Structure 1
Amino acid sequence: MELHGALVASPGMGHAVPILELGKHLLNHHGFDRVTVFLVTDNVSRSKSLIGKVLTEEDPKFVIRFIQLDVSGQDITGLLLTKLAEMMRNALPKIRSAVMTLEPRPSVFVVDLLGTEALAVAKELEIMKKHVLVTTSAWFLALTVYMASLDKETLYKNLRSIGALLIPGCSPVKFDRVQNPSNYVRELAESQRIGAEVITADGVFVNTWHGLEPVTIRAFLDLENLGQVMRGVPVYPVGPLVRPAEPGLKHEVLDWLDLQPKESVVYVSFGSGGALTAEQMIELAYGLELTGQRFIWVVRPPAEDDPSASMFDKTKNQTEPLDFLPDGFLDRTKDIGLVVQTWAPQEEILAHKSTGGFVTHCGWNSVLESIVNGVPMIGWPLYSEQKMNALLISEELKIAVRVNVGDGIVKKEEIVEMVKRVMDEEEGKEMRKNVKELKKTSEEALKNTHIPSTYFTQN
């Protein structure tokens, strides 16, 4: 019987890239004959441009299809989690119809963490194996399933009293706005729902590896800790699922990098969804200028009230004036800096020998891409679980410094300090050493899959 997998990704490159990479792994290493990937999006042309031409080329064994959502008139207000969860809920009928058209009918179904309601669709269609891919850390999975194990009253009591959740076998997770959890009741309810649905799957894949999160992964294997919360559902680390740099890619940014000294450039990007306020953009510009450090900065228009605004931005702003930057900034920094509008080839930039540091929003994709290329980071979290990621890389892994975002605007003086700590000081040398050691563990992890070879063919 032909082994056919159907994989579904929520909107956003942070979900699409790991799903696509998992699909390639299933074809190349786990005996699949065919993989069909469904990417849910509210903008097909933008999604196609972001995933690149290589993946969208026709391949009968690896098919990518887009599920177009019309979000006009729909309530997708609130924080990013609730927006994406509602979009995936609205996509369920289209996901069901799309999977039903597949021939042969898939025997394996995988959906990411924000689309767990689609597991019920797979069950209805009698797909043999149903899985969840966690596109972020094992620590975030731990938080999600542990929250689901608590009733609402206990959860709120924990948040009000200590402002944290003490997860068995893991580092505790501290919350913002803990004085009144009812201020974000929708987000907590969605999180508890997702955690409850995760343990209805046959297995959970996580975009991590043992060398990156050994304590948390052991907690999932321990029946006295998270193993008990998972109720027997196995957890498999399958990372790092990151898109490899394309050798020989031609781009003006890479041409500029070729002219710079080794590990001398700071790369600044807040992901495909991140946005800063106008005031913060000005502080960042002045901070970069004052460092005197070579830099590449991917800029998008500012947004005043939504740090994830760029995720739903339909505009093409590569040619719009950069009048939100300080007067004269581009002229004053033209000899040491390169400002790129909207998009740059991130994987290739991080893989380049001239790149020495990465100012990142700490999206998990970006964190892993930095690690697999041995680049230390300056963590600047904006939304979702990015604060957890920033804590992990700065306090536990010691491969990053973290800006203080708690006071609102990050001032230019702090930006200068952070860049110098990573690029010039002994602390930065130690971080560089640590991240290159982690890079080695990531290479080993890719060689040694943790999914049993007969897993997908067993009834």
Structure 2
Amino acid sequence: MASGIIMNTLEKLEEAVKAIRDGKCVPDGPTPPLYCIGPLVSSGDGGKAGSGGGPGNDKPECLTWLDSQPRGSVVFLSFGSLRVAVLNHGATGGFVTHCGWNSVLEAVCARVPMIAWPLYAEQRQNRVFMVEAMRVALPMEEAAGGAVGERGGGGAAGPRADGPGGQGHQGADAASQAEAQAALNPGGSAQVALAELVQSWNIA
């Protein structure tokens, strides 16, 4: 049996953490200690020189383009790299995500509203959790077979920005971001969990 479970997440974000602690996932045996040491996300491009932006340490071209856009005016769709720097840019006002958990944590920490558009595997389950439990995203409107029309993203993004349906989600975004920051502060839940993890190694 595992001697412990390390999770890169914030306990308050995930109902599954409580289920694991309550022994619901291992009904016939003891549950290993659970250490929620997150949310830990990349600070940007990993320090790679010239990642996408020319020689040396030049700023990537996409960030230079964002510098010229109005604040909060860009909806970002990405299934690849250099995501954190874009999410934390002031021009980014929304994020179409495939619901991978790293993407979710990065957007929560950057306090960027999300449109959930899962592709496969656990991503569809993540979407349900993001939309219904965490309330940090709205679902992409998909037609039969998973097709998305020209109004698919706009229909999901509109209520968040302008309509009454978006106010609760905006509040949830702010609360989640504040909780994520608090977890990483001195004495926060992430640091406490990490200290407990290190102590368990010392005892072993």
Out of 204, 227, 230, the residue aligned to residue 5 of structure 2 is: 204
Paired residues of 1:380 and 1:390 also in contact (CA < 8 A): yes
Spell out the pairing of 1:90-109 with structure 2 (5 A cutoff).
none
Out of 393, 400, 417, the residue aligned to residue 137 of structure 2 is: 400
Q: List gaps (5 residues or longer) in structure 2.
A: 48-56
1:220 and 2:20 matched: yes
RMSD after superposition: 2.3
Q: Measure how far apart 1:399 and its partner are.
A: 1.4
Out of 163, 177, 189, the residue aligned to residue 439 of structure 1 is: 177
1:237 and 2:36 matched: yes
Aligned partner of residue 232 in structure 1, secondary structure: coil
Distance 1:356 1:426 in 2: 18
Paired residues of 1:264 and 1:423 also in contact (CA < 8 A): no
Distance 1:361 1:378 in 2: 9
Aligned partner of residue 211 in structure 1, secondary structure: helix
Paired residues of 1:208 and 1:237 also in contact (CA < 8 A): yes
Out of 416, 441, 448, the residue aligned to residue 154 of structure 2 is: 416
Aligned partner of residue 375 in structure 1, secondary structure: coil
Percent identity (aligned) = 33
Distance 1:227 1:349 in 2: 40
1:455 and 2:173 matched: no
Distance 2:39 2:58 in 1: 22
Aligned partner of residue 245 in structure 1, secondary structure: coil
* Higher RCO (CA-CA < 8 Å; seq separation 6+): 2
Rg bigger for which structure?
Answer: 1
The one-letter amino acid paired with 1:259 is S
Paired residues of 2:142 and 2:152 also in contact (CA < 8 A): no
Distance 2:28 2:91 in 1: 45
Spell out the pairing of 1:299-448 with structure 2 (5 A cutoff).
345-405=82-142, 407-408=144-145, 409-447=147-185, 448=188
Paired residues of 1:210 and 1:217 also in contact (CA < 8 A): yes
Aligned partner of residue 95 in structure 2, secondary structure: strand
Distance 2:28 2:8 in 1: 20
Aligned CA distance change for structure 1 residues 229 and 252 (closer, same or farther; 3 Å): farther
Distance 1:445 1:230 in 2: 30
Paired residues of 1:265 and 1:357 also in contact (CA < 8 A): yes
Residue in structure 2 matched with residue 122 of structure 1 by the alignment = none
Q: Which string of whole-angstrom CA distances, capped at 9 and with x for unpartnered residues, describes residues 359-378 of structure 1?
A: 11111111111000001110
Spell out the pairing of 1:152-163 with structure 2 (5 A cutoff).
none
Aligned partner of residue 371 in structure 1, secondary structure: helix
Given the two structures, how large is their TM-score scaled by the length of structure 1?
0.38
Distance 2:163 2:92 in 1: 16
Paired residues of 2:141 and 2:155 also in contact (CA < 8 A): no
Q: List gaps (5 residues or longer) in structure 1.
A: 1-199, 273-342
Given the two structures, how large is their TM-score scaled by the length of structure 2?
0.81
Paired residues of 1:378 and 1:422 also in contact (CA < 8 A): no
Residue in structure 2 matched with residue 284 of structure 1 by the alignment = none
Aligned CA distance change for structure 1 residues 440 and 230 (closer, same or farther; 3 Å): farther
Count the aligned residue pairs: 186
